[in-house]
């Protein structure tokens, strides 16, 4: 904590805010963060309220739970019902609504659902219970994908074939290309995800400035990190630049973690993938390579009805930055953290949950 205290220093923060106020911009600038950790920091520390009126922040598709479509929940429950498997999941996925019920509701009805802190813990459980088929629900971005690849490698080495993975893993670069190429939402700059960029490296997002002409900057997770990143983006806009800047150099390099990248390449293949709010994005998902088919729960045959979202839920619009959470008709009424109608209200990294918990008016 001592090492991070400087990133909350009031004098340093005031100095950055003075520099932001002194910038000359000809119009209102809109910057999007695409990391749930950044969303939580921004609302927890009321960073919106510190910024000049010329700068607006909005949340994008940075919460892995939020961008996982309800059809994935339906698929998992169908596997348990039709194949008698035990579902293993991270805790923040268990309350995400599916088309009909959530994993928590399925568990209440007798379907075996177990919560684990990590995929490695789920593998250990499967190893100790070889007569039980365990299906781990793999969601997340590159940060999670590399750890799940390592767990898969361990399962292969140990010969734990009753451990399987149902993958909804996603990769960030192509999703950002689709988001920024849409005319629906005007984004003047991107606050790039710190954790993902630690794995893939800042060069993975170089195309955003070079091809799409949108300024971007990698950020850490403390208030000073966020504000320095906002200053970086605003300065680029004021000078007409569009490049990638790294404001998280204590953790992020240009090339990233090449060991983690190699693990992902060796165990996963790129596929087209559905994102909540963004539709199917080419080559933005990861599934197990053919040589690991014995561990791939996605190959088990099931009967699955068409997925359906709550008709009034606006999570997709929130994830595209097209709608503020408060403008969803369900927000704070039919949709709360205790009784979520949409995924963005479930996770602590979801924009709706962050607004509900940290902004003072819940109606």
What pLDDT score was predicted for residue 1? 47
Distance CA 332, CA 249 (A): 38
Q: Name the DSSP letter for residue 198.
A: H
Say yes or no to pLDDT of 363 above 60. no
Strands (E), 121-196: 134-140, 163-170, 189-192
Q: What is the dihedral of CA 185, 189, 195, 196, to 10 degrees?
A: 60
Predicted pLDDT of residue 5: 63
Domain boundaries, the chain: 65-171+258-299
Which of the listed CATH numbers 3.40.50.11740, 3.20.20.70, 3.30.530.20, 3.40.50.360 matches domain 65-171+258-299? 3.40.50.11740
Q: Would the pLDDT of 276 be above 60?
A: yes
Task: Summarize pLDDT for 15-47 with one digit per residue, the tens.
Answer: 999 999 998 787 899 999 999 999 999 999 999
Question: CB-based contacts of 92: which residues, under 8 Å, 6+ apart?
Answer: 65, 346, 347, 348, 349
* Report field, pTM of the whole predicted structure over 0.85: yes
How confident is residue 3, by pLDDT bands cut at 50, 70 and 90? Answer: low
Looking at the predicted structure, is the pLDDT value of residue 2 above 80? no
Query: What is the average per-residue pLDDT within 128-136?
Result: 97
Residue-level pLDDT at 360: 64
> What pLDDT score was predicted for residue 24?
78
- The DSSP annotation for 37-62 comes to HHHHHHHHTTHHHHS-TTEEEEE-S-
Structure tokens at 91: 């805790």
| pLDDT, tens only, 54-112 | 999 999 999 999 999 999 999 999 999 999 999 999 998 999 999 999 999 999 999 99
- What tokens were used for 29? 């600038």
């Amino acid at each position: 904590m001592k090492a991070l205290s400087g990133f909350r220093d009031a004098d340093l923060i005031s100095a950055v805010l003075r520099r932001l106020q002194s910038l000359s911009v000809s119009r209102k600038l809109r910057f999007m963060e695409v990391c749930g950790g950044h969303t939580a920091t921004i609302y927890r520390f009321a960073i919106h309220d510190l910024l000049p009126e010329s700068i607006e922040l909005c949340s994008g598709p940075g919460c892995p739970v939020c961008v996982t479509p309800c059809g994935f929940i339906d698929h998992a429950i169908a596997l348990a019902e039709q194949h008698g498997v035990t579902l293993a999941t991270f805790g923040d996925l268990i309350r995400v609504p599916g088309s009909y019920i959530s994993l928590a509701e399925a568990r209440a009805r007798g379907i075996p659902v177990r919560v684990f802190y990590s995929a490695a813990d789920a593998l250990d459980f499967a190893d100790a219970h070889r007569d039980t088929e365990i299906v781990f629900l793999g969601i997340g971005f590159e940060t999670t994908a590399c750890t799940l690849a390592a767990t898969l490698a361990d399962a292969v080495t140990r010969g734990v074939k009753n451990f399987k993975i149902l993958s909804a893993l996603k990769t960030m670069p192509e999703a950002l290309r689709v988001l920024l190429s849409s005319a629906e939402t005007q984004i003047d700059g991107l606050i790039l995800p710190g954790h993902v960029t630690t794995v893939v490296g800042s060069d993975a997002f170089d195309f955003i400035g070079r091809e799409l002409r949108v300024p971007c900057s990698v950020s850490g997770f403390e208030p000073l990190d966020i504000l320095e990143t906002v200053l970086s983006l605003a300065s680029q806009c004021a000078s007409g630049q569009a490049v990638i800047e790294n404001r998280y150099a204590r953790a992020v390099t240009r090339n990233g973690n090449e060991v983690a990248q190699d693990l992902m390449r060796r165990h996963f293949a790129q596929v087209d993938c559905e994102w909540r709010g963004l539709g199917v994005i080419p080559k933005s998902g990861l599934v197990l390579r053919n040589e690991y088919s014995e561990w791939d729960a996605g190959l088990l045959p099931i009967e699955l009805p068409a997925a359906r979202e709550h008709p009034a839920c606006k999570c997709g619009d929130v994830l595209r930055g097209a709608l503020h959470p408060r403008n969803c008709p369900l927000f704070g009424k039919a949709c709360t953290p205790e009784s979520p109608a949409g995924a963005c209200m479930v996770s602590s990294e979801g924009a709706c949950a962050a607004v509900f918990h940290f902004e003072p008016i819940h109606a």
